[in-house]
Structure 1
């Protein structure tokens, strides 16, 4: 409980929101056959906090993440990252924003198989036309506990180690927000716990803002709060909840009549 109170106090000292969504909707398909994936969602993600997003299958979790991260444009509503409104950005400016201010980690590690760990980590900088400093790459690999694996290729690393490389690659640009889509989905439970501990430490020690989509109550329990989605709408939040409580809430949501 003490650790949680410390985290809450730390959160209260953080100023402002990393992301704000105001009445965001996303529809797919043509008129008459359109599907509403997000329905007037309003949410704020304070800086230096860890938020898990959960909901039944088809609730809009991934669409929320993709819109919030600037990977997809909402049909209506406003999304701000820091002080930047995404709606008015050209595709080029949106690409630059994603490259410079946002980090991504996915269930599939998405590493380049022909590159070493340090080359994979340096890739976002190279894509941005910046020459990566060797000590900068090693430093971020050290942060994820892989300083001694810098010259290994993905096939020479375990699944957990590959996900740590993916985390280091996401952190190399010092992003304002790290988005994680089922980051432990391809890992066994022990390795998944290690990655979750790493994410938690990034928030507590470095003030990183993390938004994680997950179906796993154990993963969600490591977050400061859990945002629940049902049919594209926010259906409440849980703060500092145990895995058992999150699982019980999810069971009720999944059993609810459509």
Structure 2
């Protein structure tokens, strides 16, 4: 039986109460099969980041269920949820979030050290090689370009061999050429390693690297595209942003 890497069933997330009630997600049901690359897009305020946070166990839905590899997150205690995120989920954000006083290899090893595990130096070097930074292991963030720093962040996310890698605008702070290099790395992780990647982005060029693009509007799924090019994705986004509220 092929269990989806992530499955959301009728997930809603509401904030506030009364007149201040905001519905960020509204009955969203989605499946993310193993070994696929999905981009999530939508106008500002459509619920993209909330979807990612609920799917990754960073935020709890108000209602509905989220499962990662068959484990339902909504029933886990905070302690067990923290352990699951640490061991089975990787994160890459627009901000690199590297510790400036640590070298690249020390930043990469940090998730294992925080989990009380002694990182094997060979494993740390392996993931740095995987992102093309084997010769930068002893460099600190200030000695690396923005693209190299994001690669270190990517290696740090991979050190625990996560089932799912979540990216929140992972190329948002990079120039177009460096962004393409990082996106090519993500694409290769899906094609070569059968990694599952879910990426929130506003960039149609970035989304075109994914197998499919899921569109959100006002907290609801508003269709998806598979194997689409950047031009078609941009046209769809223009339609969504021009639609009356």
TM class by smaller structure: over 0.9
3-state SS, counterpart of residue 67 of structure 2 = strand
Q: Which moved more, 1:146-155 or 1:80-89?
A: 80-89
Q: Distance in 1 between matches of 2:74 and 2:129?
A: 37
Quote how far apart the aligned CAs of 1:31 are.
Answer: 2.6
Q: Distance in 2 between matches of 1:47 and 1:130?
A: 27
- Which of 74, 94, 97 lines up with 1:110 in the alignment? 97
TM-score (norm 1): 0.94
| 1:197 has 2:202 as partner | no
- Which of 39, 46, 60 lines up with 2:26 in the alignment? 39
2:217 aligned residue: 230
CA distances 1:106-157 after superposition (whole Å, capped 9, x unpaired): 0000001100000000000001111001100000000000000000000000
CA distances 1:222-251 after superposition (whole Å, capped 9, x unpaired): 000000000000000000000000000000
Counterpart mapping for 1:81-160 below 5 A: 81-160=68-147
Quote how far apart the aligned CAs of 1:15 are.
Answer: 2.8
2:8 aligned residue: 21
Q: Distance in 1 between matches of 2:225 and 2:75?
A: 33
- Which of 135, 149, 152 lines up with 1:165 in the alignment? 152
1:62 aligned residue: 49
- Which of 56, 61, 65 lines up with 1:78 in the alignment? 65
1:5 aligned residue: none
CA RMSD of aligned residues (A): 0.8
Aligned length: 245
| 1:218 has 2:218 as partner | no
3-state SS, counterpart of residue 164 of structure 1 = helix
3-state SS, counterpart of residue 2 of structure 2 = coil
Q: Distance in 1 between matches of 2:32 and 2:49?
A: 16
After TM superposition, which residue ranges in structure 1, 4 or more long, deviate above 3 angstroms? none
Q: Distance in 2 between matches of 1:32 and 1:82?
A: 38
Q: Distance in 2 between matches of 1:133 and 1:154?
A: 21
3-state SS, counterpart of residue 122 of structure 2 = helix
Quote how far apart the aligned CAs of 1:16 are.
Answer: 2.5
TM-score (norm 2): 0.99
1:7 aligned residue: none
